């Protein structure tokens, strides 16, 4: 039986951590994720968890401490944002290649510069090739639910990869909203205990972690890691199916919102998807065949499934809340476009970069995007494919 | 879906964000779906800040700022000179301002806003019951009174619980806060 409550995304994630009671939390604070270790420190002080709570001197060290703990056979977690995630960069690759299923909560925040504390995905998108599984959340409920699923996904025997659970900085992390929590007992039963088959401190079969890989072997390790990421797709769906059976809330690689018979669609992530849904509802009422796909899992990228979901659509706008500086569109666009490349009939596809550094994204922005897609279908002319939406100067706006 | 949207204008340190959280809490206790979120920037004491509430019977998925609020709360009267507090404010809604002045005196500062204007002297009420300037508590009561977003009796009951919990270490201030709420609800005028 769910418990009706209200809290911010940060408190929701900290609550999930408390219920899971991990062995180690290595913490270093950074806005807007700071509240997560702050809440957790209170749980430690109140004796609600028996986690080893380590205050380290940097994010490079917090991830390093997690790596050490997880390699020793413990369940280790941490949280960060923005520059903190960048500072972990080296160790993220170590964690993933050593196949250590650490769970890292990220309250997404723009990277410098100019220096900014507000939301976009430039921090986690910069780590998309680190080997972490990446799961994104629309609101506090999804941040909580995704976190409850994270350990089981990462710890799956043929996966063994670290997991990033992302929530939108401030928009989700600091907004108080209603939430359905699950009881401590039900969460513990769902997540289970962590008993890795091999680990550093296993006396009867001690293991080396992170050795040098000469050219004769390095590639095999990387291929095995790539296979693990492919296996993660099945693990994500399996855990989601059990989550739905246990708690009643349904998750997949992405959410298809009013996509039946849709001729125009936007592909989008996070809290913006919620805002855009309001525009989809409004346009559907006006008889427009519009839909939305909210990408929840970015790594592994569900390319085949996404292409299938878009096959009957005539025009698609892929919405990137980070600027990749590729001069060819943002990261979600690159992935979505490449996923569709071998389709018999492809939708026309444009990229819209929006909401950088917390620039507000509104229902009206979504209306403008769909109006533009409608024009593309009517005229058959795709026009510019790499567009920035929501700039201060209206004269610079394409839509 | 019927959503009541409220925008708070205050200065850093005056508790507009806290008041917005308490309002969401009271509406949550009354069975509503709520959102409470501040607009964050470089935080410094005295700088203009904005906070928001959405209150609805179903979950609201919109996560943008609020541009066409039903109600506006101004916690600091001096903001009327620098911030367009009635921007987008619905005419059928209203604005409540912390001021010792009358609504008629303040209306000329509101860029031609035609809807209802209310005032409450939150400073005086706060000093009387709390001995210091905590304008957010009376302003919270004022917005509940004028918007009807939460039934007043249920609101007072929830606030008593909230303050008892919040001030567990200094229970002597609970009564002052509750008295603030009661007086502000009665004192707010058009």
Predicted pLDDT of residue A42: 97
Task: State how far residue B53 is from chain A, nearest Cα, in angstroms.
Answer: 9
Q: How many CB pairs under 8 A join A and B?
A: 62
d(CA A98, CA A95): 5
Q: Which residue of B29, B64, B67, B150 is the best one to mutate when testing the A interface, meaning the one whose CB has the most A CBs within 10 A?
A: B64
Q: Which pLDDT band holds residue B170 (cuts at 50, 70, 90)?
A: confident
Predicted pLDDT of residue A143: 98
d(CA A190, CA A193): 9
Q: Which residue from B34, B42, B62 is facing A176, i.e. has the nearest CB?
A: B34
pLDDT at B41 over 80: no
CATH superfamily, region B3-187: Pyruvate-ferredoxin oxidoreductase, PFOR, domain III (3.40.920.10)
What is the number of other CB atoms lying within 10 angstroms of the CB of residue A364?
13
Q: For residue range A59-68, what is the model confidence (pLDDT) as tens digits?
A: 999 999 999 9
**Helix, strand, coil % in chain A, rounded to nearest 5:** 40, 20, 40
pLDDT at B43 over 70: no
Strand residues in A201-270 grouped as ranges (E): 254-257, 264-268
Predicted pLDDT of residue A43: 98
d(CA A66, CA A26): 6
Predicted pLDDT of residue A71: 96
Residue of A nearest to B54 (CA): A177
Task: State how far residue A133 is from chain B, nearest Cα, in angstroms.
Answer: 26
Cα A102 to the center of its chain, rounded Å: 15
Does residue B1 or residue B24 have the better pLDDT? B24
- Tokens 């993660």 identify what position? A232
Predicted pLDDT of residue B146: 96
pLDDT at A219 over 80: yes
Burial A198-232 (b: 16+ CB within 10 A, else e): ebbeeeeeeeebeeeeeeeeeeeeeeebeebbebb
Task: State how far residue B26 is from chain A, nearest Cα, in angstroms.
Answer: 11
Can you read off the two tokens belonging to residue A372? 């533009």
What is the number of other CB atoms lying within 10 angstroms of the CB of residue B116?
15
Q: Please report residues of A whose CB lies closer than 8 A to that of B63.
A: 139, 168, 171-172, 175, 271-272, 274-275
B118 pairs with which residues across the strands? B96
Strands A348-354 and A386-389: parallel
Kindly determine whether residue A6 and residue B61, on different chains, have CB atoms separated by under 8 Å.
Answer: no
Predicted pLDDT of residue B44: 77
Domains delineated in chain A: 3-247 (3.40.50.970), 254-396 (3.40.50.920)
């Amino acid at each position: 039986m769910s418990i009706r409550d209200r809290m911010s995304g940060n408190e929701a994630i900290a609550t999930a951590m408390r219920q899971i009671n991990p062995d180690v939390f290595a913490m270093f604070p950074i806005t807007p994720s700071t509240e997560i270790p702050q809440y957790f420190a209170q749980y430690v002080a109140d004796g609600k968890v028996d986690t080893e709570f380590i205050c380290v001197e940097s994010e490079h060290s917090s991830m390093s401490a997690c790596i050490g703990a997880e390699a020793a056979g413990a369940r280790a977690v941490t949280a960060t944002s923005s520059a903190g995630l960048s500072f972990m960069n080296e160790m993220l690759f170590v964690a993933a290649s050593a196949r250590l299923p650490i769970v890292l909560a990220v309250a997404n925040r723009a990277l410098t510069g100019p220096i900014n504390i507000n939301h976009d995905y430039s921090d986690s998108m910069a780590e998309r090739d680190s080997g972490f599984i990446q799961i994104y959340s629309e609101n506090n409920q999804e941040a909580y639910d995704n976190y409850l699923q994270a350990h089981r996904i990462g710890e799956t025997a043929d996966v063994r990869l670290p997991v990033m659970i992302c929530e939108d900085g401030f928009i989700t992390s600091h907004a108080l909203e209603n939430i359905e929590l699950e009881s401590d007992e039900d969460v513990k039963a769902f997540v289970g205990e962590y008993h890795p088959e091999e680990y550093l401190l296993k006396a009867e079969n001690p293991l080396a972690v992170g050795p040098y890989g000469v050219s004769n072997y390095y590639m095999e390790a990387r291929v095995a890691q790539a296979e693990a990421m492919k296996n993660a797709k099945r693990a994500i769906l399996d855990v989601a199916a059990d989550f739905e059976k246990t708690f009643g809330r349904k998750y997949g690689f992405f959410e298809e919102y009013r996509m039946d018979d849709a001729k125009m669609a936007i592909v989008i992530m996070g809290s913006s998807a919620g805002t855009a849904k309001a525009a989809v509802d409004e346009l559907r009422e006006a008889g427009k065949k519009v839909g939305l796909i909210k990408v929840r899992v970015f790594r592994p990228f569900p390319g085949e499934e996404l292409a299938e979901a878009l096959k009957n659509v005539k025009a698609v706008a892929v919405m990137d809340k980070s600027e990749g500086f590729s001069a060819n569109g943002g990261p979600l666009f690159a992935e979505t476009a490449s996923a569709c490349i071998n389709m018999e009939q492809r939708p026309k596809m444009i990229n819209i970069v929006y909401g950088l550094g917390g620039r507000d994204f509104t229902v009206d922005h979504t209306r403008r995007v769909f109006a533009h897609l409608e024009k593309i279908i009517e005229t058959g002319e795709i026009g510019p494919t790499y567009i920035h939406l929501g700039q201060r100067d209206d004269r610079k706006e394409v839509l | 879906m019927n959503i009541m949207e409220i925008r708070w204008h205050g200065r850093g340190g005056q508790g507009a964000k806290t008041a917005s959280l308490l309002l969401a809490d009271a509406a949550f206790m009354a069975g509503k779906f709520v959102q409470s979120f501040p607009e964050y920037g470089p935080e410094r004491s005295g700088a203009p800040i904005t906070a928001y509430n959405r209150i609805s019977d179903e979950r609201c998925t919109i996560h943008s700022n609020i541009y066409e609020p039903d109600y506006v709360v101004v916690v600091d009267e001096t903001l009327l000179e620098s911030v367009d507090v009635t921007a987008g404010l619905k005419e059928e809604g209203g604005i409540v301002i912390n001021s010792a002045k009358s609504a008629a005196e303040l209306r000329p500062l509101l860029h031609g806003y035609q809807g209802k204007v209310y005032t409450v002297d939150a400073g005086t009420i706060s000093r009387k019951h709390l001995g210091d300037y905590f304008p957010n508590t009376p302003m919270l009561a004022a917005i509940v009174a004028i918007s009807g977003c939460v039934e007043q009796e249920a609101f007072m009951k929830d606030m008593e619980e909230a303050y008892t919990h919040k001030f567990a270490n200094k229970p002597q201030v609970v009564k002052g806060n509750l008295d603030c709420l009661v007086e502000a609800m009665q004192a707010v005028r058009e």
